[in-house]
Amino acid sequence: MTTPNNAKQLDTVLTQIAATAAKEKSPAPSSEAGTVNNDQPGAARRSMNKMVQAQQHAALHEELRKLIGHLHAQTMLISGEGLENFCNHNDQIKSDYLWAMTDTAGRALKLLDDAC
Q: How many domains does the chain have?
A: 1
Instruction: Say if CB 55 and CB 34 are below 8 A apart.
Output: no
pLDDT at 97: 94
| Residue ranges making up the domain that contains 108 | 4-26+40-115
Report the percent of the chain where pLDDT is more than 70.
66
Secondary structure of 47-101 in HEC code, one letter for each residue? HHHHHHHHHHHHHHHHHHHHHHHHHHHHHHHCCCCHHHHHHCCCHHHHHHHHHHH
| pLDDT tens digits, one per residue of 61-74 | 999 999 999 999 99
Q: Has residue 34 been placed in a domain?
A: no
| pLDDT tens digits, one per residue of 29-51 | 444 444 445 555 777 788 888 88
> How far, in Å, CA of 110 to CA of 116, rounded?
10
3 state SS of 4: helix
Q: Has residue 32 been placed in a domain?
A: no
Question: What's this model's pTM, rounded to 2 decimal places?
Answer: 0.55
